[in-house]
A = this chain, B = another copy of it.
């Protein structure tokens, strides 16, 4: 077997166009998920008591594998510094570094949690392979509504500060509202309709204010929903408008249209639909 060239390696490891590149991505995603699974199992004390050494061995196997992959990525990058500094370069490093550090720094076992950053590594593959277009529509909508959502969260923070402080005054420490920050935490739990129930108002006045908090949370959830709905509706319309017939060049076709509704010519599909 011949040793692959730097260019071939680059195409396989970074690219997704060739069959070999796709196969590599598929194997990588499975290995990442397995390594996360090992982390999960390792956190369950009953499981660790039984197969702890096995998990420890697997963990080191994955670490060495990811280290090798990281080294090859650096080796075959055209612009190494750009790769090292990129978001993906950093997650690749943070996915292996903690395992080595805990060997040298005793008691730093909390560093092992940093390995969970491997979850982010899946993003790269997801991003490259498939749902690019769909995710872009969502992200563009979120980006367009960024400022409205900021205004919404700003108002929400003022509301929870006021309601939390009110309940701190009305209920007080004897009913669990031990400080203003804790009361604001309660107000967030309540206004988002989560409602854990670990802290609940007991006085009639406190329950009345809590009821107002809930009704407000119940009603204003409509605001971010309305914002996203409106922007997403616009994005979708724009997306459809951007489909043009290759024969008569008229736009505004449905996403699943196979033929132009004006001239009957066959439509082309956008690139992300072809990939299926």
Contact = CB atoms under 8 A, between A and B. Distances in A.
Residue among A40, A194, A217 with most chain B CB within 10 A: A194
A185 to B, nearest CB: 5
A-side binding surface: helix, strand, loop or mixed?
helix
Interface stretch (A4-12, A15-23, A59-67, A231-239): A231-239
A223 B138 contact: yes
A221 B211 contact: no
Interface in A135-152: 135, 137-138, 141-142, 144, 147-152
Given A122-B158, A165-B113, A45 B178 contact: yes
Contacts of A36: 161
B219 A222 contact: no
B154 A126 contact: yes
Contacts of A218: 191-193, 217, 221, 224
Of the four ranges (under 10, 10 to 19, 20 to 34, 35 or more), the interface on chain A belongs to 35 or more
A236 B234 contact: yes
A119 interface: yes
B161 A188 contact: no
Given A153-B215, A188-B214, A219-B224, 15 more contacts: A44-B181, A45-B178, A45-B179, A110-B169, A116-B162, A138-B151, A149-B219, A153-B219, A189-B211, A193-B193, A196-B196, A196-B197, A223-B228, A226-B233, A229-B230
